[in-house]
Amino acid sequence: MNVFLLSLGVILLIGDVVTTQTTKPHIVFIIADDLGWNDIGFHNPEIKSPNIDKLATEGLILNSSYVQPLCSPSRSAIMTGYYPFKMGLQHLVILPYQPVCVPLNITLLPEALRDLGYATHMVGKWHLGFCSWNCTPTYRGFDSFFGYYNADEDYYTHTVDDYLDLRDNKTPARNLNGTYSTNYFASLATDIINRHNKSQPLFLYLPFQAVHEPIEVPKRYEDLYPNIQNEGRRKFSGMVSALDEAVGNVTSALKQNGMLDDTLIFFTADNGGWIPYYGNNYPLRGGKFTIYEGGTRTVAFINGKRLQNSGTVYEGLMHAIDWMPTIVAAAGGIPDNSRDGMNLWSDLNNGSLSGRKEFVYNLDSHFPPLEGHAALRMGDYKMVEGYPGEFPDWYKPQQLPEDSPIKQDKFEKKPYPWYQYQLFNIKDDPTEHNDLSTKLPDILAKMKARLNEYKKQMVPPNFPILPDPKSDPALYNNTWSPGWC
C-alpha cells in the first residue's frame, strides 16, 4: 500500500483500488458595499485597485453577475439562495428599529459550510437583522463574528445615529473609536488566517464596510488621486484604494500561511454605486436603489488555483441567489436544490454558457407607502414594471450632485405608474437607452405573464413603518443590541 500526499488532495492506492479524495478548498468571500460598476480599476483605469484587478484578471471575471439594488435584499439572497421576495425582504433594507430578520427557519451559507466541516468566521457588515440573538451571526452558523449589525455607520466612531454598533462576538467593542474600519477589519481577517489550523477548511466571510457612505478615508489614500478635482469623488476613490490594500493584505496572509493555492476567493459588491455619494456605474444606467443595470449588474469575480478557465471572462448570467449553491458545490457539498438559486459551479469551470436563463431583479409592492419596483430577465430581454427608482439616468464620475443638475426629486416629478412597462435587449443595449416595449408587444406580453407567475409566490414585504420603541439603544447602554423581538 502506498500513500501519496499531493498538494490538491490525497490519493490513496489500496491494492488495485484508486480513490481520489480531494481536500476541501479554503473559501474567502469578500463583499464590497456599494461599489459601482465604474468604481474599480479593471473597469475604470482612473481607480487604483491593483490587488483586486490582479485577482480579477488572473481569475474568472463574472461579467453578467447580478444582485438586488440594495444591501439587505442582496445579502439575504447571497446567504440563503432564496429571492428576497420569498422572504419578505424585497422592500428597501432592514432598518435599525425594525423587528425583522432573515426568517429563522432558513439555514444560511455558513451553516451549510459548517456541516461540511468548515471553520466559519465573519468580519464586517451583517445587515440581516439583529432584534433577537437568534438572528445574529454566531447563532446562524458563524464560529466567530466581529462587526456591525446595521448600515451607514461612521468608519471611525462605529456609531449609527450616535449609538455604538460594533461587536466582538456578543460583546460591544467600545475601545476602537478612531480606528478606521477598513484597516481594522483587514487586520482581524489576517489574524484569523494566521491562527487558523490548516488541517480544517476555512470559510472567512469578509463583508467590508467600504465603500458605503459616509465618505471618510485616511488622507494617504485620498492623496493617491491628486488629479480628481471633485473632493467627494477623490475621497471615495481613496476608499476604494483602502479596500484594495485590505484585500491585498488578506491575500498576502493566505500566501504567507501556505494557504493561497488551496483557497477560492469569491468577490462581489452588494449593489451598484450610490450616485449622490460619489459611487459611479457609467456607462450603465442608474445606480443603487434603481432596478436598472447600474443598480444591479455588479463587479464580481472568482480567483483560485482550483478554478479552471482562470484568466477568462464569463459572460453567462448569474444572480445573487446562485452564490450559496455554487459555493456549497465548490466546497464539495450537495446544494439544496429546492431553493431558488442554481449551482453554477460546473458551468463556471467549463466556461459553458450559464444554466441560468432567467431571473427576477426584484419584485416589490407597488402601492404606497411601500411603493417599489419589479423587473424580470428572460434571456437577453429585461422588462421593468413601474417605478425604476431614484437617479435613473446616466452619470459620469465627475458629474456629481453639486456639479450637475442631478436632484433627488428630479425623477419623483415624473413617476412611472406601476402598470407602465419598459423593455430592453441587454445584450444589444446594455446601457438601456432603447425602450422596445411598444416595438415588441409579443415579448412584452410573454414577460408580463411570466412575472405574474412569480407574483403568486411573493410574500408581502415585512416592513413595519413605525419604529419599534423596544429597539431604542438607550435601553441597552447606548448600543444597538438584540433582545427585543
Ligand X SMILES: *[C@@H]1O[C@H](CO)[C@@H](O)[C@H](O)[C@H]1NC(C)=O
> Between 50 and 103, whose beta carbon lies closer to ligand X?
103
| Least CB distance to ligand X at residue 477 (A) | 4
> Between 50 and 430, whose beta carbon lies closer to ligand X?
430
d(Cα 134, Cα 140) in Å, to the nearest integer?
Answer: 7
Which cell numbers hold the place of 172?
Answer: 460591544
| Least CB distance to ligand X at residue 164 (A) | 6
> Between 230 and 249, whose beta carbon lies closer to ligand X?
249
Count CB atoms within 10 A of the CB of residue 311.
10
β-pair type (159-160, 163-164): antiparallel
| Least CB distance to ligand X at residue 16 (A) | 25
Quick one: which of 115, 128, 126, 113 has its CA closest to 82? 128
> Between 73 and 386, whose beta carbon lies closer to ligand X?
73
| Least CB distance to ligand X at residue 143 (A) | 14
Quick one: which of 346, 266, 253 has its CA closest to 25? 266
> Between 441 and 460, whose beta carbon lies closer to ligand X?
460
Quick one: which of 268, 273, 269 has its CA closest to 290? 273
Measured CA distances, 263 to 79, 182, 293, 331 (Å) = 20, 22, 31, 10
Residues taking part in catalysis: 71, 127
> Between 134 and 308, whose beta carbon lies closer to ligand X?
308
Residues that bind ligand X (CB under 6 A): 61, 63, 103, 105-106, 157, 159, 174, 177-178, 182-183, 186, 197, 199, 242, 245-246, 249, 308, 313, 346, 349-350, 352, 430, 477
Quick one: which of 122, 126, 266 has its CA closest to 204? 122
> Between 160 and 320, whose beta carbon lies closer to ligand X?
160
Quick one: which of 74, 69, 35 has its CA closest to 390? 69
Count CB atoms within 10 A of the CB of residue 126.
27
